[in-house]
């Protein structure tokens, strides 16, 4: 493939699960000591957190990191003050990035934690929330651009509904479409050449999220004229929650031309919510990387560990073990995926299966000159009578096991 393993595996450590989460869940309090959480001087806490974060990036040797605006700096009394806090910490990031060589895979805005977003951000019935969200994203895009981020992500945290009965869906989708157009216009205006990525998720925290899965996002992008501007960031756990496999979501994005990046994690198949475990399923990741390789690998995207510790893993060293285990899983998966890709065995089977389409008459059916009548006429004239041809399904499924 002409690329080294490091060039393929563009790992990123996420700020939120790694440094901001201390074990709280809907039923329990914090279980982990994080000395920068709850400091009376919140900005001092944010600086300490940044020191520890960059030390950890270096220990792990990862090339990238990712963050939300509110992960890195405390919210102020006004948006202007919040923006100044973000500015101070991102200035510190710029120095640290210079020192360590760690780069930004993507930035994003947290438009879901504060109670002002309880009924959504861009889809909110209150236009002031739409405006506030736009202003917050403007600032997050500015700092992502300044830090030379490779991408900018929008995960529709609460862009969805709790009940249809109080929801005007068409209005909310139009608001979301307009919002995304504003973001794309601004990206071009400031000359940010990273990729804008939407991260699909079917549910949680809302009952139904509008960016349900890759196919739904594609329909949305088409509807609002953005299919050439925006791509997707696909998360393992979100794919599973939407009833798909991870590789299905990647293959769908490839087929529609909108594949961008992945949130690499793990969700057990029986859980009904997003568990964000570290990647530990080699076959699942291998199939995903196989389809990524088949489509030419990552361009601006990478493998972001949107992964958190189990809340019983209270030792800070567990954070290192989690990431190292995740990297090992992805490295083993890449070896399997590359072997599958390079052997060409599956591609050969696929070519063989569609070989009938190589002929000129077959191709003509796909051209505009063909009509239902012309095709029907030929079927009659040539007395076409299709006979079953084996898809060799079991053979393929067994073949894959040679690599996994
Ligand atoms: C939640 C999402 C979330 C996003 C993050 C970045 O389920 O996975 O963690 O990845 O907000 O957009
Ligand atoms: Ni998630
Ligand atoms: Ni997640
Ligand atoms: Ni995610």
Long-range pairs for 183-186: beta carbons < 8 A, 24 or more residues apart = 183/137, 183/141, 183/152, 183/154, 184/226, 184/229, 184/230, 186/138, 186/141
Report the nearest atom of ligand 1 relative to the CA of 201: 7
Summarised one tens digit per residue, pLDDT across range 13-27 is 999 999 999 999 999
- 341 classed as catalytic: no
Catalytic residue among 8, 17, 69, 71: 71
For ligand 1, is residue 159 a contact (CB within 6 Å)?
no
The response to whether residue 158 sits with its C-beta less than 6 Å from ligand 1 reads: no
| The pLDDT value given to residue 1 | 55
Supply the pLDDT for residue 2. Answer: 80
Supply the mean pLDDT for the chain.
Answer: 97
pTM here?
0.97
Per the CB < 8 A criterion, the answer to whether 190 and 184 are in contact is no
> Which structure tokens are listed for 315?
């030792």
Give the position, in ligand 1's atom list, of the atom nearest the Cα of 154.
12
Whether 183 lines ligand 1, by a CB cut-off of 6 Å, is: no
Closest-CA residue, ligand 1 atom 2, reads 155
Return the ligand number nearest the Cα of 307.
3
- At 212, is the secondary structure helix, strand, or coil? coil
199 lines ligand 1 (CB under 6 A): yes
CA-closest residue to ligand 1 atom 9: 306
Residue from 17, 199, 212, 305 whose mutation best tests the ligand 1 pocket (most atoms within 8 A of CB): 199
> What is the model's pLDDT at position 343?
95
Q: What is the ipTM of this complex?
A: 0.96
Q: How far apart are the first and last CA of the chain?
A: 19
Q: How many other C-beta atoms are found inside a 10 Å radius of the C-beta of residue 149?
A: 25
Is the distance from the beta carbon of residue 319 to the nearest atom of ligand 1 less than 6 Å?
A: no
Ligand 1, residues 109, 195, 306, 308: which to mutate, most atoms within 8 A of Cβ? 306
Instruction: Print the SS3 string covering 335-361.
Output: HHHHHHHHHCHHHHHHHHHCHHHHCHH
In this prediction, residue 271 has a pLDDT band, given cuts at 50, 70 and 90, of confident
Query: Which atom of ligand 1 has the smallest separation from the CA of 304?
Result: 10
pLDDT of 78 above 60: yes
The catalytically annotated residue of 68, 238, 244, 323 is 68
68 is annotated as an active-site residue: yes
Work out the average pLDDT over 296-321: 97
Rounded to the nearest 10 degrees, the angle between the axes of helix 214-223 and helix 246-256 is 30
Cα–Cα distances in Å, from 168 out to 131, 163, 219?
19, 10, 19
CA 306 – CA 276 distance, rounded (Å):
6
Residues 49-78 have a mean pLDDT of 98
Ligand nearest to the CA of 266: 3
Q: How far apart are CA 177 and CA 7, in angstroms?
A: 35
Atom nearest to 199 CA in ligand 1: 12
Q: Between the CA atoms of 182, 185, 191 and 195, what dihedral angle is there, to the nearest 10 degrees?
A: 70
CA distances from 380 to 374, 398, 403 (A): 10, 40, 46
The pLDDT > 90 percentage for the chain reads: 98
Which tens digits make up the pLDDT trace of 293-304?
999 999 999 999
Q: Rounded CA gap, 402 and 393, in Å?
A: 15
Q: How do residues 336-375 score in pLDDT, each as one tens digit? A: 999 999 999 999 999 999 999 999 999 999 999 999 999 9
């Amino acid at each position: 493939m002409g690329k080294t393993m490091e060039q393929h595996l563009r790992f990123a450590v996420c700020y939120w699960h790694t440094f901001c989460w201390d074990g709280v869940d809907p039923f329990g309090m914090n279980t982990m000591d994080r000395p920068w959480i709850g400091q009376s001087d919140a900005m001092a806490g944010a600086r300490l957190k940044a020191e520890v974060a960059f030390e950890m990036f270096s220990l792990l040797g990862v090339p990238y990191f990712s963050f939300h605006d509110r992960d890195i700096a405390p919210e102020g009394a006004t948006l202007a003050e919040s923006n100044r806090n973000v500015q101070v910490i991102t200035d510190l990031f710029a120095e640290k990035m210079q020192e360590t060589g760690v780069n930004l895979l993507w930035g994003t805005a947290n438009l879901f934690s504060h109670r002002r977003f309880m009924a959504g951000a861009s889809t909110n019935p209150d236009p002031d929330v739409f405006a506030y969200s736009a202003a917050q994203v403007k600032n997050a895009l500015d700092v992502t651009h300044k830090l030379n981020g490779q991408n900018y992500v929008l995960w529709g945290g609460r862009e969805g509904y709790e009940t249809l009965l109080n929801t005007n869906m068409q209005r909310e989708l139009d608001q979301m479409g307009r919002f995304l157009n504003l973001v794309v216009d601004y990206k071009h205006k400031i000359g940010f050449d990273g990729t804008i990525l939407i991260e699909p998720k079917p549910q949680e925290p809302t009952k139904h999220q509008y960016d349900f899965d890759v196919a739904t996002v594609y329909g949305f992008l088409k509807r609002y004229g953005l299919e050439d501007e925006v791509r997707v960031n696909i998360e393992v756990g979100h794919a599973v929650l939407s009833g798909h496999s991870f590789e299905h979501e990647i293959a769908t994005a490839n087929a529609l031309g909108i594949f961008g990046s992945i949130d690499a994690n793990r969700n057990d198949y029986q859980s009904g919510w997003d568990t964000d475990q570290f990647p530990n399923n080699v076959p699942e990741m291998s199939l995903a990387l196989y389809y990524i390789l088949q489509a030419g690998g990552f361009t601006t995207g990478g493998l972001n560990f949107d992964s958190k510790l189990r809340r019983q893993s209270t030792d800070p060293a567990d954070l290192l073990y989690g990431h190292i285990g995740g990297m090992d899983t992805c490295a083993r998966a890449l070896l399997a995926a590359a072997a599958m890709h390079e052997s060409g065995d599956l591609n050969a089977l696929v070519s063989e299966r569609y070989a009938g389409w190589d002929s000129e008459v077959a191709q003509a059916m796909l051209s505009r000159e063909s009509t239902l009548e012309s095709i029907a006429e030929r079927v009659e004239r040539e007395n076409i009578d299709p006979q079953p041809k084996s898809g060799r399904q079991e053979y393929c499924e067994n073949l894959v096991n040679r690599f996994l």
